[in-house]
Amino acid sequence: MVVRILIVDDEPAMHDSYRRTLVGSQPAPASNALAAMASELFADRPSPADAADDDFCLTHATQGRDAVAMVQEALRDGDPFRVAFIDIRMPPGIDGKETARRIRALDPEINLVIVTGYSDYSPIDIARAAGPADKIFYITKPFEVNEVQQTARALCQRWQVDADLARTRTELADKIVQLEEKTLALAANEARAVHMASHDSLTGAPNRLAFLRELSERMQGQRPAFAVGMLDLDRFKNVNDTLGHAAGDELIREVCQRLAAEMGDGIVARLGGDEFGILFETGDKMDALARCERIVASCSTTYMILGHAVQVSASMGLVVANPAGETDKIDHMRLADMALYDAKRAGRSQVRLFDESMDESVRFRQTIEAGLREAIARRELEVVYQPIVARERLDIVGFEALLRWTSAEHGPISPSVFIPIAEESNLIHELGDWVTAEALSECLRWPHQYVSINFSPRQFRRQDFVETLAARVAASGLPPHRVQIEITETAIFDDDLRAAETLQQLRALGFRVALDDFGTGYSSLFNIRNFALDCLKIDKSFIDGLGREVESAAIVNSVTHLARSLGLGVVAEGVETETQNQALRLAGCSHLQGYYFGRPIDADATADLAGQALPADAAARSAGGIVRP
């Protein structure tokens, strides 16, 4: 590469000497006097054969003003000088010091070599005028050829290094700015996602998750008694049916605003549809009942909705809770809901305070518990399996084991009904052990897929959980990496230190670990980063709105990007449409699960499907999906 060097000297013979020294060209004819001067300056030593360097391109100036103009032109052409050799004494015109000052003002990056036998200025004077000092160098006349050559080469190389370093620093600064912007965007997205996960998108009020969290906090420690109310609009369906859903949404917003204004320091949450949860401190039951009657009366009025007068009434169920009692937060809501049902049944537009006679469900729960104790022996339980597919080629990589119960007395019973009862009665351990044994046995029939087994918080907190599970898996002959443990946020955050140790032990043994229903509990990605997890399973509630709601897509994208930054996989549950499938794959979810890929099926059908889903099954993939039951 050709590099440019500027020679500034008022003696023509010196220019010839620089040519001979740096580019190997023959000197131009000179007078005997000038030749003698050059001979004296260079100590009368001949140039070595290798002194010439074709990489140097010399530009010559005999006056300082000409040199300054040349520097300016070189900068304008985008081909600046790397080094300038400047004679310090150049009468007439501007001297070397002033020349160096003006050149430096134009080009801060050029390296200056001050050449002098005698100078009127000290190095400090010159550095002050044309600094910085680390870009000014000195050669004393007479000098040697090697000194000039080595100085030129070294400073040209230094100029290139400085340029490369400056460019690298600029690029690095740009990348740092981009990284900071992305970090801020991710933090903003997570903050927004957390807010959206705990607030209703229609009204902006706290949602069911936030209501449960507040209810849980009020039950901790020495807190005053509080009331839990469940309010429901009477015949709200008629508004939707006659005026449309837009009118229904507007009515919900206005009722929520009226409730919030009436509650003052209490909590109003939209739990879903036209149902609201209310929470406030109270002195006694009669005080709470009177306040709730005022609330119902306030929101039971005529509203102007999209130009229509809409008459609205409401019903409410109420329970007064004592933090010192044994009833849990879910039970408080259940009791208030039963009181609401009683208010509706009694004619609506009223408040009912819960009493024990309303709790007909107690007998049903006792019946369910008794039936569960016999369900295994009666062969009423069944484990079904739902496929989990990988994002890239939609291969079936695993199946989630799901428990089903068909009672001889009550018929099919939803897991959402009998699992909580089993959890409360300790039957969950017996059921869990049976499901684990069935799932491990069936997984052996599959060619390569893993089985994902749900464990309740109570199972996970058993002292011998890891040892017992490891022994069962070892006895089955199944390698641990083909078993995935699914746990909820409640299981790990109730006792995070012990949970972290348990998860670490599971991972060390080779098990996969998934955090189920992510987004419905208390955690964020920032406070799970220290847990030994393989993946997060995004709750179905966040998938339902994809393709219709911008907020749902924002939540999924935020969770996916942040999870990937922590090295975690992301499984999207509840995928039911092609739109959801495409959106989730574009968002970067590593795995997908839902009715779109297959409903839960029995063990024999699962074994057949697992065999069809081998990687060699190219025909199914080329059709854009997988074999579905």
Q: What does the alpha-carbon distance between residue 282 and residue 9 come to, in Å, rounded to a whole number?
A: 97
Terminal Cα-to-Cα distance of the chain (whole angstroms):
68
**Same-domain status, 11 and 158:** yes
Residue 248 lies in a domain: yes
Strands (E), 489-534: 512-518
CA triple 401-536-422, angle to 5 deg: 45
CB atoms within 10 A of CB 293: 14
More confident residue, 362 or 242: 242
Scan for tokens 């100078």, then name that residue: 119
**Same-domain status, 462 and 546:** yes
Strand partners, 270: 276
Strand partners, 3: 56
**Same-domain status, 484 and 340:** no
Q: What does the alpha-carbon distance between residue 14 and residue 34 come to, in Å, rounded to a whole number?
A: 8
CA separation, residue 546 to residues 550, 578, 584, 587, 626 (Å): 7, 11, 9, 11, 22
Residue 530 lies in a domain: yes
Nearest to 513 by CA among 457, 444, 453: 453
Burial of 613 (0-12, 13-18, 19+ CB in 10 A): buried
Residues recorded for the chain: 629
Scan for tokens 């078993």, then name that residue: 483
Average pLDDT, integer, range 538-564: 80
**Same-domain status, 351 and 370:** no
Residue 229 lies in a domain: yes
Summarised one tens digit per residue, pLDDT across range 574-590 is 999 998 998 899 889 99
| Strand duo 569-572 + 267-272: pairing | unpaired
Three-class SS state of 122: coil
| Strand duo 302-305 + 535-538: pairing | unpaired
**Same-domain status, 155 and 14:** yes
Q: The domain containing residue 539 runs over which residues?
A: 363-622
- Domain boundary, last residue among 326, 358, 390: 358
Q: Domain of 615: which CATH number?
A: 3.20.20.450
Which of 100-114, 210-224, 248-262 is predicted with the least confidence, judged by mean pLDDT? 210-224
Are residues 126 and 86 in contact, defined by beta-carbon separation less than 8 angstroms? no
**Same-domain status, 350 and 368:** no
Scan for tokens 């537009």, then name that residue: 349
Average pLDDT, the chain: 85
**Same-domain status, 122 and 235:** no
More confident residue, 586 or 606: 606
Which of 385-389, 511-515, 530-534, 621-625 is predicted with the least confidence, judged by mean pLDDT? 621-625
Scan for tokens 């997988």, then name that residue: 626
Which percentage of the chain shows pLDDT scores above 90? 46
Strand partners, 5: 58, 83
More confident residue, 242 or 569: 569
Nearest to 239 by CA among 195, 275, 274, 189: 274
- Domain boundary, last residue among 166, 200, 225: 166
Q: Domain of 72: which CATH number?
A: 3.40.50.2300
CB atoms within 10 A of CB 582: 12
Residue 228 lies in a domain: yes
**Same-domain status, 257 and 225:** yes
Residue 521 lies in a domain: yes
Burial of 554 (0-12, 13-18, 19+ CB in 10 A): middle
**Same-domain status, 317 and 406:** no
Q: What does the alpha-carbon distance between residue 432 and residue 578 come to, in Å, rounded to a whole number?
A: 34
**Same-domain status, 385 and 334:** no
Q: What does the alpha-carbon distance between residue 591 and residue 482 come to, in Å, rounded to a whole number?
A: 16
Average pLDDT, integer, range 57-83: 94
Three-class SS state of 376: coil
Q: Domain of 216: which CATH number?
A: 3.30.70.270
**Same-domain status, 241 and 99:** no
Summarised one tens digit per residue, pLDDT across range 157-205 is 999 899 899 899 999 999 999 998 888 888 888 878 877 888 998 999 9
Three-class SS state of 492: helix
Strand partners, 351: 316
Q: Kindly tell me if the per-residue pLDDT of 69 is higher than 90.
A: yes
The pLDDT of residue 624 is 35
Confidence of residue 619 (pLDDT cuts 50, 70, 90): very low
- Domain boundary, last residue among 327, 342, 358: 358
Residue 192 lies in a domain: no
Residue 310 lies in a domain: yes
The structural domain count of the chain equals 3
Please provide residue 386's backbone torsions phi and psi, each rounded to the nearest 5 degrees: -115, 130
Residue 174 lies in a domain: no
**Same-domain status, 224 and 153:** no
